[in-house]
Amino acid sequence: MLKSKMLIDKDFQIAEVDPRVYGSFIEHLGRAVYGGIYDPGHPTADAQGFRQDAIEAIKALNVPIVRYPGGNFVSGYNWEDGVGPVADRKRRLELAWWTIETNAVGTNEFADWAKLAGTEVMMAVNLGTRGIDAARNLVEYCNHPSGTYWSDLRISHGYKDPHKFKTWCLGNEMDGPWQIGAMTAYEYGRIANETAKAMKWVDPEIELVACGSSSRDMKTFADWEATVLDLTYENVDYLSLHQYYNNNKDNTYDFLATSLDLDQFIDSVASICDFVQAKKRSKKKLMLSLDEWNVWKSIGTSRMEERWQIAPPEFEDVYTHEDALAVGCYLITILKHADRVKMACLAQLINTIAPIMTENNGAIWLQTTYFPFLHASNFGRGTVLRSITSSPKYDSKDFTDVPYLESISVHDEENGTITIFAVNRHLDEAMELNVDLRSFGETTFVEHIVLENNDLKASNTKENPRNVLPHNGGHTTVDQGKVQAVLNKASWNVIRLKTKQA
């Protein structure tokens, strides 16, 4: 059996977890909105058409913030089309995904849905075909109490109280040639800065996210960030990162090592932010918003061949056990960067590259990736600890010195709990994990949750929704502050412990 170790000290702290790192994303893309959260013909739909079975699955994830309405969609979106009486709303050609947008769901409906789902809204503004004027008007419509044209228009639409959306994205992936209104870094930095000023003049309480590179693979990466931040630094609060991975080359060891790439990407962007801070001699340290991340197998295919459908199924990837392991590794990587990554959005939440799947007017089921996200969101609250680990390593096609053990621990002092998240990347051998927790004094075992399957390609489907499920039969013992656990081959593990309260 492989041997690995962790030394965890309560004083070796990285940072407090911002709950918003367990955020997600819903775009007007595919069946995320229509057929996903909104399905008026479904037996569980409420008076507004929102599926209650979907809401319950989402509430269980404890998602604190959801990015909306895009994504590529937002760069051609006129927000005014989605407010007011539904019968009067215009149908539009949606150019990002070559569909027809009915606008049956818009800003106010999504705000209502967010309340039902127990989450906040991360609102995005269109900096592709529009700019300062539309953005400031949207802030006024959403956040100003009353007494002005746009706030009174909201009230006339049946929403007396302002939505008070706090977090706003300044466009989406504006470096991408696929984007409507794509820009150079200088062009984007100028319009983002002027838009940020106007939006904050309308509501000084909001916080703003500037677009970073669409991925680490963009030719303009790093130069884009440096230029954009040079132009926007004092008026924005976060810089975005987007990154997707897949195992389309069918090399599992290489795929499970991609969390090392994510780790380097985050470090690189943080370094660029710090460079600009030093250059400007600013006292403000910019934080990061990893507001698109996931496994995306169908990323190489874009848009429907048959144009101008309404909410066609797009990018409905079927996730496997190995995908769940990768998602677990990415979640651990995000927690390792809790000092800089303050928001993160699993993209997306339902139907479109998502952990939750639905059938129009029919069934709902949970994909394999649902479970590591569920565990991290519910048990990964508190302070992330900087553990000292040792593990056997391997080399893959694109990575060297990859530890078979990927792990992190979170201490919730208020509730007296320690949670260890761990992935055993070895596909054939179990791993013994020895953890030194003596700095916490007396600790007791709560449970050891395991997600495992002998078939790396096993998935959950409508026909077999319980094929890959976690169990709490993991083997862990605790004795005088020392933990000994067995991490089965190719497994995601959640080891929960209780500390003795003072």
Q: Which residues are catalytic?
A: 173, 292
CB distance 47 to 88 below 8 Å = no
Length of the chain counted residue by residue? 502
Helix (H, G, I), strand (E, B) or coil at 480: coil
Q: Determine the distance from the C-alpha atom of residue 314 to the mean position of all C-alpha atoms in its chain, rounded to a whole number.
A: 19
Distance CA 278, CA 266 (A): 18
Show Cβ contacts of residue 281 under 8 Å, excluding neighbours closer than 6 positions.
none
Residue 199, classified by CB atoms within 10 Å of its CB into exposed (0-12), middle (13-18) or buried (19+), is buried
**By the 8 A CB rule, do 143 and 203 touch?**
yes
Instruction: Give the separation between CA 112 and CA 105, rounded to whole angstroms.
Output: 10
The pair of structure tokens assigned to 187 is 């062009």
* Burial of 30 from C-beta contacts in 10 A (0-12 / 13-18 / 19+): buried
CB 74 within 8 A of CB 171: yes
Nearest to 107 by CA among 150, 58, 47: 150
Q: Which long-range contacts (CB under 8 A, 24 or more apart) does 130-134 make?
A: 130/78, 131/191, 131/195, 132/191, 132/194, 132/195, 132/198, 134/78, 134/79
Q: Are 357 and 304 in contact (CB under 8 A)?
A: no
Contact 221, 240 (CB under 8 A): no
Residue type, 236: V
Residue with tokens 């977090």: 167
Angle at which helices 223-232 and 258-280 pack, to 10 degrees? 40
From CA 102, how far away is CA 99, in angstroms rounded? 10
Give the Cα separation of 333 and 339 in Å (integer).
12
**Tokens 């656990």 sit at which residue?**
485
Q: Is 190 helix (H, G, I), strand (E, B) or coil?
A: helix
**Cis-peptide into 128, omega within 30 deg:** no
Q: Name the phi and psi angles at 296, rounded to 5.
A: -135, 100
| Strand-pair partners of 113 | none
How many whole angstroms from its chain centre is CA 126?
20
Within 10 Å of residue 285's Cβ, how many Cβ atoms? 11
- Structure letter (DSSP) for residue 174: T
